[in-house]
Amino acid sequence: MDSAVADPLVGQVVDARYRVERRVASGGMATVYDALDLRLERRVALKVMHPWLTTDPDLVARFGREAKAAARLSAPTIVAVLDQGEDAGRVWLAMEYVEGGTLRDLLRERGRLDPAQALDVLLPVLEALGAAHAAQFVHRDVKPENVLLRADGAVKVGDFGLVRAVTAASTTRADGVLGSVGYLAPEVLERGTADERVDVYAAGVVLFEALTGERPFAGETPIQVAYQHVHSAVPAPSSLRPELPPALDRLVQDATRRDPSARFRDAAAMLAAARAVRASLGGQATEVVAPRSPTATRPVPPLPAAPPAAPRRPSPGRVRRRRRALAALVVLLALVGAGAWWGPLRYASPPSLDSLPTAQATQVARAHGFGVAVAERYDDHVQRGRVIDSTPHDPWLRRGSTLHLVVSRGPEVHDVPQVAGKSVADARAAIAAAHLTAGAVSGAWSDTVPKGMVVSTTPPAGESQRAGTAVALVVSSGPRPVKVPRLLGLSADDATAALAAVRLEIATSKDYSLTVPDGEVMSQGTSAGTSVLPGTTVPVTVSQGPPLVKVPSVVGMRTGAARGRLEAAGFRVTTGGIDILGRVLYQSKHGSAPQGSTVHLTTT
C-alpha cells in the first residue's frame, strides 16, 4: 500500500508551518516525514512521536528538553535540530533534511569499503561525536543507520541527544534491538552504564563493519550477539581481510577493548589516531558517494526466542558476575522479544525532581512508584534542602526501583584558620587544609612579628567563608626603618634623647677638640638622614674640649721671646705692664693648661 495514501498526516500542515509531503520511514520511536517549511521555503525532516508515547507528560517534557539541548550542538557533521513543538497532540521535531542515504544503504550496495573510503566516512563521524562529547553529550546509538551520506559526499551523524529521551521506543521491536545490540559496549550490557567510551566502542564496530562488510559478532538472537560482546574481544579486521594494514587492526582494537579504561577516552582521542592512520595510507581524500537506492525501513516480525549459541567459558574468577549479567540480559531481551519490556504497568518515566524540597521530591517519586535514597553534597547555587540531581537518568525505569536524590547542603563553608606568626608555606598549607585558597601575599611593617612571618589574613581568622574562597596573606617585612637625626652640636644628654625618640640606641666616646666645646657631640658614626632599623646603635663622639699641654715658664725672658715660646706651645698670649726693661715679670698660667687658652704676661 502506498504510504502517502495510508498515512493521514501526509498533506497536512503541522504547527501552521510544516507541510507534510510524504512519509519517509517509521521506527519504534517516531515516524519521519519529508516536509516543507512554508515559512523559510526549505525541506526538513519532520519526526513525529508515536501517539502512544505522547500520553506520558514526563516523557514528552524530557523529549523537549533533549531536543532543545541537541539543538545547541553545532558542527558541520551533525544533523541539525531546527525546531521542536507540539501541535494537536502530536509531539514533533524538525531536523535538517539530508538528501542521500545511510552508511547501511551503502554497505548493502557495495558490501564493504576500501580502507581509505572507510576512514573518510569514519573521520567526520568522529568529528561529530567529538563535538557532542565536548558538550557532554553521549550519542549511545552509533550505527550505520545513523550515519547519513549526503548526495554531495558530505557525511553527517543523526539523532544526537534524542537517544536518552527515547531509548524505550527504539527497543520495542526485535529488529531495533538486533541492530542496536550489535554496537553496544560490554559495560552497557553488563551494568547499564554509558559514557563517551560507549560511542568510541560503537565507532570501532562501525569501522570494522565498513572494512569487512560484516559485524564482528553474529547470532540468531540478540542474546547471542550480546553474549559475544560481553565475553569476546572484537577480532582484527584483517582476520577477514588479510590485506588490511596492521594500523587499521590497532585502531579497531583500541576502540573496542572490553575494558572501557583501555579504550580511547573519547571521540577526540580516537579522531587523532584515525587521522594518523589515514595519513599513513596516503592518497587524496575520497569522495563518499551516496548509495543509488537507499533502502526503505521495513517492519520485521519479532524474532523467536531461540537459545544462545554455546559461548566460550569465561575465566573462573569472573564466572558468577558474568552469569548474573547474562541472566539479566536474557530477561531483558526476552521481554523485548515478547513486546512487554516497556509495558505501561511495569515501567514508568521518572519525574523531574530538580530543585524540589527533599520532602516534596520524595512524595512525588513515591507517587510515581519509585523508592528514594538521599545523599547530600555542598552546592553554591542550589538552595539548602533542595534536589540538585536525581539518578538514574533513564527515560523508563521499573516501578519500585530507587531514585537516588542528591540534595544540596548549601554552599560549603569553612572557618579561616589562625595563621598569624606562621611562615607563608605553613599558612598556605593550613588554608588549603581548611578547603580555602591561598590568595595574594602583601607585606607590612611590624615591630612584633618577625620578618617573613604572617601578620594577618583577609578575611580575618575565624570568619566563615565558602569553600575555595581566596584568603589574602599579610606578611611581616620587619620593623619600619627610621631615619637617624642630626646630633652634631648637641650635648650628650640631648643626643641620647633624640635617638631614643626614634627608637635608636647611642654609644658615646670622648675626644679632645680645639673647635667643639666640651660636652657637645663633635661627630656621629651614622650620617644624619640614613634609614636604619629600630634598635640600631648610633656611635657618637663627645668633645672634651682642647687637650692639656705644659705651659712653658717664661718669667725673666724678654717679652718677644716669651711670646714666641708660648705660641709655639699652642697658647694665645696677651701682655700688659710698664715694659721698660722688656722682660716678663709675671705669667698668668703655670703647669698645664688647655691648648689654645690665653696666657697673660706682665712685663717690666
Report the DSSP beta bridge partners of residue 32.
25, 47
CB atoms within 10 A of CB 68: 12
Residue 69 grid coordinates? 539541548
pLDDT along the chain (604 residues), means of 10: 65 96 82 95 93 79 78 90 91 92 94 96 97 90 93 88 41 40 89 89 98 93 86 96 97 97 96 96 68 43 32 40 46 40 52 92 91 93 93 82 94 93 96 94 94 96 92 95 96 95 95 91 95 94 93 93 93 90 91 91 90
Q: What is the pLDDT of residues 365-396, one digit of tens each?
A: 998 889 999 999 999 889 999 999 999 987 66
450, 420 in Cβ contact below 8 A? Answer: no
Give me the pLDDT at residue 285, please. 63
Give me the pLDDT at residue 166, please. 37
Omega before 57 within 30 of 0, i.e. cis: no
Give me the pLDDT at residue 296, please. 34
Q: Which of 215, 257, 212, 200 is nearest to 239 (CA)?
A: 212
CATH topology of domain 548-603: Trypsin Inhibitor V; Chain A (3.30.10)
d(CA 587, CA 555): 7
Give the single-character DSSP code of 449.
S
- Which residues lie below 8 Å from residue 356, measured CB to CB, with a gap of 6+? 364, 386, 387
d(CA 555, CA 128): 126
Q: Are strands 598-603 and 572-577 parallel, antiparallel or unpaired?
A: parallel
d(CA 491, CA 509): 13
Q: Residue 129 — φ and ψ, nearest 5°? A: -65, -35
Give me the pLDDT at residue 317, please. 41
Q: Residue 72 — φ and ψ, nearest 5°? A: -80, -15
CB atoms within 10 A of CB 109: 15
Query: How many helices (H) and strands (E) are present in the chain, helices listed first?
Result: 16, 29
- 1-97 matches 345-408 in fold: no
Give me the pLDDT at residue 71, please. 84
CATH topology of domain 345-408: Trypsin Inhibitor V; Chain A (3.30.10)
Give the architecture (CATH level 2) of 1-97.
Answer: 2-Layer Sandwich (3.30)
Q: What is the pLDDT of residues 236-267, one digit of tens each?
A: 999 999 999 999 999 999 999 999 999 999 99
Q: Which of 90, 105, 114, 89 is nearest to 35 (CA)?
A: 90
**CATH code for the structural domain at 482-543:** 3.30.10.20
| Residues catalogued as catalytic | 141
Q: What is the pTM of this model?
A: 0.50
196, 267 in Cβ contact below 8 A? Answer: yes
SS3 347: strand
The domain 413-476 having CATH identifier 3.40.50.2300: the answer here is no
- Locate the domains of the chain by residue range: 1-97, 101-344, 345-408, 413-476, 482-543, 548-603
Q: Is 529 left (phi over 0), alpha (psi -120 to 50) or beta?
A: left
d(CA 404, CA 389): 8
- The one-letter amino acid code at 20 reads V
**CATH code for the structural domain at 101-344:** 1.10.510.10
Q: Which of 415, 594, 446, 469 is nearest to 533 (CA)?
A: 446
